[in-house]
Amino acid sequence: MSKRAYNFNAGPAALPLAVLERAQAEFVDFRDSGMSIMEMSHRGAIYESVHNEAQERLLSLLGNPKGYKVLFMQGGASTQFAMIPMNFISAGQVGSYVMTGSWADKAFKEAKLAGGAHVAATSADKKFLAIPELSTITAADNAAYLHVTSNETIEGTQYAEFPDSGSIPLIADMSSDILSRSFDVNQFGLIYAGAQKNLGPSGVTVVIAKEELIAESPSTIPTILRYDTHYKNNSLYNTPPSYSIYMVNEVLKWIEEQGGLAGIEAKNRDKAGLLYNHIDGSDGFFRGVAEPSSRSIMNVTFRMQSEDLEKQFVKAAELEGFVGLKGHRSVGGLRASIYNAVPYESVKALSDFMNHFQKTQG
C-alpha cells in the first residue's frame, strides 16, 4: 500500500486506518448480502441494525445517560445553527450565546434571524484567543437556552469546563471535539456535531438530546426542520446518509478499542502536550496563538515570525508528506488539527520536522 500522509486536515480529516481497512473489506459485499451497504434499502433489517447499533454505541461511550436520544441528520452543523432557534425559541424569548470565535458567531447570527439572540459573554476583547471566564457567563432572563461552542476550530480554543446553565438547557456545538475527552452529558440539553472531524466522514450530523426537548416541536416549522420529526421516526423519516452512518459506527467501535473516552483523552492529551511543549520550547521561533489556559487539544494554532516564513514552512512540510498545516484563511498562521484519528507518530513526526526546519533557518 502507498504511504499514508501525515494528515492534519481540519475537516474532513484523518480517519483511523483500521476503520478504512475494515470498510474496504466489507465494501462490495456487506454481511453476505451480495451488495454494498450503500446499495441496500434503509428500511431493510441489515441497514436498520447498523443504524441502531451506532446510536446505542454512541450512548454507551457516553455512559448511557438516561432520557437521551441520538439523531442522525443532514445539512451539517450549519443546519443545526438554524434549527436550534427555530425549534426552541418561543415568542418573547431569545437564545443566549457565548461568543468565543468564528463558529459561535455563525450560530449566533442564525439565532438572530430565526428568533432572537443575546450575548451571554464574549472574548472579543481578547480577539477570541481565550474562552471567557465561566463566572462571567450569564444567560438572559428570557433565554430559551444557553449555547456554547466547546471547541473553536479556527482560533484553537476549547472549554476546559462548561458553564452551569441552571434550569436553562445548555446546548453545545461539539463539532470539533466530540468524543475527544470524558464529559458529563447530563449537563447538556442538546449536543450536535458534524461527523467529519472526530466521528467519521462528512454527510451526517450527530445530535444527542434530552428526549423531553425534542419530542414535540412547534407545528409551524417545516417538517424536515423539526426535531420531533427525526425523533419520532428514529432518524428514518427520509433517506439517511447510510454510508456515513455505517462509517460512524465503525469509528465508534474503534474508539471503544482505544479504551473509550478515557483512553482516547489520554492519547489526545499526550499528542497536544508534545506539540505545545515543542512550540513553547522553540525560543519564540514558533508561538502558540491561543492563551495557554484555553488551548485546544484538537486544533493547535501557532505562528512564526513572518507570513513569509510560515509559507516556506508549509511548503517544506508538504514536501515531507505533512498535509493541512495552513491556518484557516480568515485568520492565517498555522494550524495542526490533531483529532482522535491522528496517530501520536504523526504528531511526533511533525515535532521532529519543526525542529529540523528551525535548525535549517539558523
Tell me the catalytic residues. Answer: 103, 173, 197
Q: How many residues bind ligand PMP (CB under 6 A)?
A: 11
User: Is position 175 an interface residue for ligand PMP (rule: CB under 6 A)?
Assistant: yes
Task: Identify the three-state secondary structure at position 113.
Answer: helix
Single residue of 84, 111, 114, 173 touching ligand PMP by CB under 6 A: 173
Q: Would you say 59 and 209 are in contact if contact means Cβ atoms under 8 Å apart? A: no
Single residue of 16, 76, 95, 115 touching ligand PMP by CB under 6 A: 76
Single residue of 37, 62, 77, 82 touching ligand PMP by CB under 6 A: 77
User: Is position 176 an interface residue for ligand PMP (rule: CB under 6 A)?
Assistant: yes
Query: Least distance in Å: CB of 176 to ligand PMP?
Result: 4
DSSP string, 49-94: HHHHHHHHHHHHHTT--TTEEEEEESSHHHHHHHHHHHHHPPTT-E
Task: Identify the three-state secondary structure at position 170.
Answer: strand
The Cα–Cα gap between 324 and 339 comes to: 12
User: Is position 78 an interface residue for ligand PMP (rule: CB under 6 A)?
Assistant: yes
Query: Least distance in Å: CB of 73 to ligand PMP?
Result: 10
Axis crossing angle, helix 76-88 with helix 102-114, rounded to the nearest 10:
40
Question: What is the number of other CB atoms lying within 10 angstroms of the CB of residue 182?
Answer: 15
User: Is position 203 an interface residue for ligand PMP (rule: CB under 6 A)?
Assistant: no
**Is 103 annotated as a binding-site member?**
yes
Q: Which is closer to ligand PMP, CB of 175 or CB of 229?
A: 175
Query: Least distance in Å: CB of 112 to ligand PMP?
Result: 17
User: Is position 110 an interface residue for ligand PMP (rule: CB under 6 A)?
Assistant: no
User: Is position 265 an interface residue for ligand PMP (rule: CB under 6 A)?
Assistant: no
The Cα–Cα gap between 131 and 154 comes to: 13
Residue type, 248: V
User: Is position 55 an interface residue for ligand PMP (rule: CB under 6 A)?
Assistant: no
Q: Which is closer to ligand PMP, CB of 80 or CB of 351?
A: 80
> Counting beta carbons within 10 angstroms of the beta carbon of residue 157, is it exposed (0 to 12), middle (13 to 18) or buried (19 or more)?
buried
User: Is position 194 an interface residue for ligand PMP (rule: CB under 6 A)?
Assistant: yes
| Contact pattern from residue 112 through residue 151 relative to ligand PMP, giving x for each residue in contact according to CB under 6 A and a dash for the rest | -------------------------------------x--
> What cell was used for 272?
497536544
Q: Which is closer to ligand PMP, CB of 130 or CB of 304?
A: 130
The Cα–Cα gap between 204 and 151 comes to: 19
Question: What is the number of other CB atoms lying within 10 angstroms of the CB of residue 9?
Answer: 18
Single residue of 9, 122, 153, 158 touching ligand PMP by CB under 6 A: 153
Total count of residues recorded for the chain: 362
User: Is position 249 an interface residue for ligand PMP (rule: CB under 6 A)?
Assistant: no
Give contact residues for ligand PMP (rule: CB under 6 A).
11, 76-78, 103, 149, 153, 173, 175-176, 194
